[in-house]
Amino acid sequence: MDLDRLQKALQVEADNGFNDMQGNQYRFSEFICLSFGQPSPDIPRDRRQQLRDLGGKFADYRHLGFADRRNLLAEARQLLSQTKKYSNTAPATPIVAETPTPANTTKTTSKKTAKKVVAKAATKASSSAKASSTGKSKGGARGAIDLDQPVQYLPGIGPKSADRLAKLNLFTVRDVLYYYPRDHIDYAKQVNIRELTAGDSVTIVGQLKSCNCFTSPRNSKLTIFDLTLKDSSGQMRLSRFFMGARFASRGWQENQKRQFPKGATVAASGLVKESKYGMTLDNPELEVLESPDQDFESSKIGKIVPIYPLTEGVPADLVRRAVVASLGAVEQLQETLPGGLRQQYELAEIRDAIAGIHFPDSGEVLAASRKRLVFDEFFYLQLGLLNRRRQQQGGHTDVVLEPTGKLLSQFYDEVLPFTLTGAQQRVVTDILSNLQTTIPMNRLVQGDVGSGKTVVAVIALLAAIQAGYQGALMAPTEVLAEQHYRKLVHWFNQLHLPVELLTGSTKTAKRREIHRSLQSGELPLLVGTHALIEDPVQFDRLGLVVIDEQHRFGVQQRARLTQKGENPHILTMTATPIPRTMALTLHGDLDVSQIDELPPGRKAIKTTIVTPKKRQEVYDMFRREIALGRQVYVVLPLVDESEKLDLKSAIVAHQDFQTNVFPEYKVGLLHGKMTSAEKDAAITAFRDNETHILVSTTVVEVGVDVPNASVMMIEHAERFGLSQLHQLRGRVGRGAAQSFCLLMTASRSETSMQRLKVLEQSQDGFFISEMDLRFRGPGEVLGSRQSGLPDFALASLVEDQEVLEVARDAAEKAMEKDPTLAKWPAMRAELEYRYTRLLGGAILT
């Protein structure tokens, strides 16, 4: 029973969101069940039974909620850590490809800088930690700390505190060292009292003029500790508050007063705020000094204090205490980056960076430490993506297509009603060049709303069909799949080619007919939703897979479709342009093409922010446009009325419009809770101009193409992201008439207005997505869970764009010099470990 390997499996599952990862042979839960069910005989009997009992709980792992899965993993990791101390089993030699291990395990001598930072940080530990640091640890040697040592054996921690730290997934010293602060408070700025400015974090040193500690007359459980400090520039009153019965005891209060005798020199650190007594510090940290020039002993006074992510039951001081106690193991960390690379990009050594991110001596040390650790996160991600791209390009496919032929010529000459734009022609050339090689294509096409991505995909599909292969086009929603199907039927009928649509709504008899003709090779192209990846769908010769709005599918869903053929070419498309930083992070292993030109004749959509006061003017505009024979969208963020949010729902708005506001017009309704047949009926009626106004939720965001619609009003526009608003706006402006987008909002938030003004001023989807990234962050832009973005501990795609570019450059140069990284074994081992954690490698064999 390899305890180290089991711990790594648990770590990877936790890092990947407790999703019950699929390994080469088993799912994670099956792997743990089997492993825990067969403990080694040299493990004590009671521990063996505990392992078996806990392993049995993993049988229901797939059916547990997120919190229960997380708690079960924490229990398993803690049991393994305890078992390891009492087991005689020697750790097995790790197989890098199966169980990646962190490279930073070799003991090496620390540099002077790291020693200095560690020594300084160690002196900042709380008195209890310092008192116990000379004691004998359960690890054996006096005061020895090992990277893989359980936290309970750290000085000043113990089993109870270890149980608390387990809630943060902190089980070993290594876990603690790599648990980075989420922020820092800088108390290093020492000022005089008269120089205080509200909002600053500062330290002041003064003479204690008075001190009092008493129970609040209004609340018997609240104790107030008041003191007055004076320096050469003035004096100030400070207060600390303690809630609880034990603080109300007279003995405790007198003890507090004895610690702060009148006339003593006191240092205070905190956030400056205004009070009725003048400037003060909010709940300050206090320390009595022997003299004004004495160095501060406290881990907070006058220092840059780390602020860690916490959870219920885990106090900040406990995490800081664990970090301070762990810092002695920093010198065991192995440097994984070559000296030349660190020098070229001005990067700190890993020991200095880890010590400096926790307890930096200055802002400069903090910045240098953060830069190195952020660089590592980006660098190893980019190395992994580039390595995956190299492996893909090293693959082979028998699907080799010709860029010209009778079918393509017929499409260009007889079917296509317009001439391709320069951008479309460039992207088509890229795609057809890929299709002529034996290397499987893996290309992403980014294009703004209305830029003409679909016709580019059709040309690629026709090249595959022309060569005797089949094509598949998968879309995330039935509305979008239906839209693609309708357009393809129009074109393919002229080429005498059959095309079918397969969705969850397809009738059983039709489904069987599609399966049969697909498997026999009679059907050259199948359009559909997730239904395409179901097991009964079997292609005869799948040559090209096109995935639209690919970010809405999971990695496994996309992979299952491509597995329907023998290394088919893959073309993914998105109408949600993303900034280069996000593209590098998400698609660093893909070839990326951009259609950055709109077809000629498209008029810019006039976008205006309007308030509810102008609602009548807006409705008058609706009537003018409808009188001209045009149509109107009204988009709302909710389907049903919400008690918590004062937002109009689609259903209520539809009723109001039809009954009270526009009884003379036909008002349609479209939302996600309708059946497929109801959605089709609503869209068809609007497309055929049978309904004049369509009230809808964001289900119209993609796939609804009605050139006659000229106005879109979006209610509560501040509730949407910029990229989503841009997508919605793209539903109009598809015809020859001037189109309008009205952003209705009652919000008075300055930030909301700044965001919406971006839409007023720009039609460029790439610029808009960049601004959306800055306003909301990547998780909100793409959707945190479905985005495919790796979880970075420190790196920010908004703040660290420059570091990402540098890391990409460094990764490309490293891969050029040695694609296998054999020259740098430590770097290679670190890559395998980090890449598995970030992108979910299959280690469960």
The predicted-structure confidence for 599-623, as pLDDT tens digits, reads as follows: 776 788 999 999 999 999 999 999 9
Count the Cβ atoms, other than its own, within 10 Å of residue 126. 16
Q: Which CATH number fits domain 189-302: 2.40.50.140, 3.40.50.10420, 2.40.30.30, 3.40.50.300?
A: 2.40.50.140
Please answer whether residues 81 and 150 qualify as being in contact, where contact means their C-beta atoms are separated by less than 8 angstroms: yes
pLDDT over 50 (residue 142): no
Same fold, 406-595 and 606-762: yes
* Banded model confidence at residue 259, pLDDT cuts 50, 70, 90: confident
pLDDT (0 to 100) of residue 300: 63
**Which contacts (CB < 8 Å, 24+ apart) does range 48-56 have?**
50/79, 50/83, 51/79, 51/83, 54/79
* Banded model confidence at residue 137, pLDDT cuts 50, 70, 90: very low
pLDDT (0 to 100) of residue 141: 38
Q: What residues form DSSP beta bridges with 649?
A: 638
Task: List all residues 6 or more positions away from 496 whose beta carbon is below 8 Å from its beta carbon.
Answer: none
pTM value? 0.64
62 versus 642: the higher-pLDDT residue is 62
Q: To 5 degrees, how large is the angle CA 100–CA 103–CA 107?
A: 140
Task: List all residues 6 or more positions away from 614 whose beta carbon is below 8 Å from its beta carbon.
Answer: none
pLDDT (0 to 100) of residue 523: 95
Rounded Cα gap, residues 831 and 837, in angstroms: 10
Q: H or E element: which one contains 571?
A: strand 569-574
Q: Name the token pair of 28.
A: 């994670």
Count the Cβ atoms, other than its own, within 10 Å of residue 725. 27
Span 130-142, mean pLDDT?
A: 37
* Alpha helices in 334-442, H assignment, sequence order: 339-344, 350-358, 363-393, 406-410, 422-435
* Banded model confidence at residue 551, pLDDT cuts 50, 70, 90: low
pLDDT (0 to 100) of residue 227: 93
Span 373-396, mean pLDDT?
A: 85
Rounded Cα gap, residues 237 and 212, in angstroms: 11
User: Which of 128-132, 312-316, 368-372, 384-388 has maximum average pLDDT?
Assistant: 368-372
Q: Would the CA dihedral through 400, 405, 407, 410 be positive or negative?
A: positive
Q: Which amino acid is at 841?
A: G
pLDDT (0 to 100) of residue 384: 86
Minimum mean pLDDT range among 5-14, 204-213, 482-491, 681-690? 5-14
* Banded model confidence at residue 698, pLDDT cuts 50, 70, 90: confident
* Banded model confidence at residue 109, pLDDT cuts 50, 70, 90: very low
pLDDT (0 to 100) of residue 837: 61
pLDDT (0 to 100) of residue 541: 92
Residue of 534, 533, 502 lying closest to 517 (CA atoms): 502
pLDDT over 60 (residue 802): yes
Domain ranges of the chain: 3-86, 189-302, 406-595, 606-762
Q: Which CATH number fits domain 606-762: 3.40.1030.10, 3.40.190.10, 3.90.1300.10, 3.40.50.300?
A: 3.40.50.300
3-state helix, strand, coil in the chain (%, to 5): 45, 15, 40
The predicted-structure confidence for 561-587, as pLDDT tens digits, reads as follows: 777 888 889 898 887 777 766 777 767
Determine the distance from the C-alpha atom of residue 404 to the mean position of all C-alpha atoms in its chain, rounded to a whole number. Answer: 42
Rounded Cα gap, residues 77 and 170, in angstroms: 10
Please answer whether residues 427 and 596 qualify as being in contact, where contact means their C-beta atoms are separated by less than 8 angstroms: no
Share of the chain above pLDDT 90, in %: 33
In Å, the largest CA–CA distance within the chain is 98
Minimum mean pLDDT range among 460-464, 531-535, 778-782? 778-782
Mean pLDDT for the chain overall: 82
Rounded Cα gap, residues 830 and 845, in angstroms: 20
Q: Which amino acid is at 755?
A: R
pLDDT (0 to 100) of residue 646: 60
pLDDT (0 to 100) of residue 644: 54
The predicted-structure confidence for 25-48, as pLDDT tens digits, reads as follows: 677 887 887 788 777 777 777 777
pLDDT over 60 (residue 134): no
Span 153-161, mean pLDDT?
A: 87
Minimum mean pLDDT range among 13-22, 179-188, 581-590? 581-590
pLDDT (0 to 100) of residue 132: 36
pLDDT over 70 (residue 346): yes
User: Which of 116-125, 507-516, 830-839 has maximum average pLDDT?
Assistant: 507-516
Share of the chain above pLDDT 70, in %: 84
* Banded model confidence at residue 497, pLDDT cuts 50, 70, 90: very high
The hierarchical CATH code for the domain 406-595 is 3.40.50.300
pLDDT over 80 (residue 260): yes
